[in-house]
Structure 1
Amino acid sequence: MNRLLHGLAHLNRTLERLLHVILLALVFGFTLLIIYQVISRNLPFMPPLYWTEEFSRFAFQWMVMLGAAVGVLHADHFVLEAFPRGSRADLATRVIRDLACLAIGVIFVGYGQEFAVSGLRRNATASGLSMVFVYSAFAVSGLFMILFSLQRLLHSALHGLDEMEKALNTPNDIESLDVEESDHSPIDTLDNNPTSTQRDRH
């Protein structure tokens, strides 16, 4: 099982690097298209390219779906902690979170395939691009979500939930601050300050 986890982690690292490159290209292309739209509307000598509006919208849709998949790997989605950290209820909800992401990925792949196929019968108005290239974003994102969720769940099963989150989750400055504050209580601070102790004796 450790070998399986190692192979899955290696695959996901490669896929994550690929997604970062794709997302960077999408952001760059999206920004250029939006800038051109704004400039062409204000400068009469620049011809309006109507397909740029479609492509900017398509790029944004792919950014959202691929970014959501990367967020699953590192638990970057919004989380509302309702239970004390480390309690049974907290541990259960953290496991359910990863299971829910896995279920969403399966749903995206299952229904996303049908949605993508329906795009074969439709074309974008201005560019004429087949909508299958846009509708397939759900299925592709779902596939990445499945792979990333499986890594998190397998890592939790083999090494524990805390070790998995320490290895995969994006560091949370607030949580680390809470830990530091709990480690240094006011009593410890008083004991470590000999000046204040001597002053109290006098």
Structure 2
Amino acid sequence: MGSLLAGLSRLNRGLERVLHLVLLALLMGFIALIIYQIVSRNLPLLPRLYWTEEFSRFAFQWLIMLGTAIGVYHADHFVLEAFPRGSRPDTATRLFRDLACLAVGVIFIVYGKDFALSGLRRKATASKLPMIYVYSVFVVSGVFIVLFSLERLLHTALHGMKSMESALNTPNELDEVTHIDDARLDTIERGTSS
């Protein structure tokens, strides 16, 4: 199981790096298309390209869905902090979160496949782009969400929730403050006991 986790971790880290590059390219393309739309409305010498509106919308959809997958990997999106940190209900909600993300990823793959295939029969209005390129975002995002959720769950099963979160979660200020306060408390307790 440890080698499965190590392999999945290597795969996911590589996929994450590729996703970061794809997201950067999508963001730059999105910004360039929006700027062109604004400039072409105000400068009559530039032609109005109606497909730029469609492509900027499509890039935005891919940005959202691929960014969501990375958010699942690092627990940046789906966090519920309703219980004291480290309590059983807190641990249960964190485990439930990762299981729910896995289920959503599976749903995206299963139902997204048919949705993507329906894009073969549709074309974008201005650009005439087959809509499968846009509709397939759910399947692609679902695959990433499943892979990332599986790593989180496997890491939790092998090493515990705390180890998984320290390895995969994006640190937040509250965690750092809590960690510093815990370290100070340990120092004070050691000083009092000696």
Indicate the residue corresponding to 1:93 in structure 2: 93
Structure-1 separation of matches of 2:36 and 2:63: 19
Alpha-carbon deviation of 1:173? 1.5
Q: Secondary structure at the match of 2:144?
A: helix
TM-score calculated relative to the size of structure 1: 0.90
Partner of 2:108: 108
Aligned residue for 1:32?
A: 32
Residue aligning to 1:17: 17
Using the TM superposition, name which of 169-178 and 98-107 deviates more: 169-178
Q: Distance in 2 between matches of 1:2 and 1:183?
A: 30
**Distance (whole Å) between structure 2 residues aligned to residue 102 and residue 131 of structure 1:** 26
Identical-residue share of aligned pairs (%): 65
Question: 5+ unaligned residues in a row in structure 1: which ranges?
Answer: 193-202
Q: Report the aligned-residue RMSD.
A: 1.6
Identify the range of structure 1 (11-20 vs 169-178) with the bigger mean alpha-carbon deviation: 169-178
CA shift for structure 1 position 176: 1.0
Alignment of 1:19-168 (within 5 A): 19-168=19-168
Q: Cα distance, 1:162 vs. partner?
A: 0.3
CA contact 2:78–2:97 (8 Å) conserved in 1:
no
- TM superposition score normalised by structure 2: 0.94
| Alignment-mate amino acid for residue 56 of structure 2 | S
CA distance in 2, matches of 1:174, 1:93: 18
* 1:108 alignment partner AA: F
Cα deviation for residue 178 of structure 1 reads 2.4
Q: Within 2, Cα distance between the matches of 1:184 and 1:97?
A: 31
Q: Tell me how many residue pairs correspond in the alignment.
A: 189
- Give, in whole Å, the separation in 1 of the partners of 2:78 and 2:98: 13
Q: Distance in 1 between the 2:184 and 2:148 partners?
A: 36
CA contact (8 A) 2:79 2:97 kept: no
CA distance in 2, matches of 1:67, 1:82: 25
Larger radius of gyration: 1
Match of 2:170?
170
Which structure 1 residue ranges, 4+ long, deviate > 2 Å from structure 2?
181-185
Rounded Cα–Cα distance in structure 2 between residues aligned with 1:80 and 1:5 = 26
Aligned equivalents of 2:3 and 2:182: distance in 1? 37
SS at match of 2:68: helix
**1:164 Cα offset (Å):** 0.4
Q: Tell me the equivalent position of 1:196.
A: none
- Secondary structure of the residue aligned to 1:7 is helix
Q: Distance in 1 between matches of 2:46 and 2:8?
A: 49
Q: CA deviation at 1:78?
A: 4.4
In 1, the alpha carbon distance for the partners of 2:94 and 2:126 equals: 45
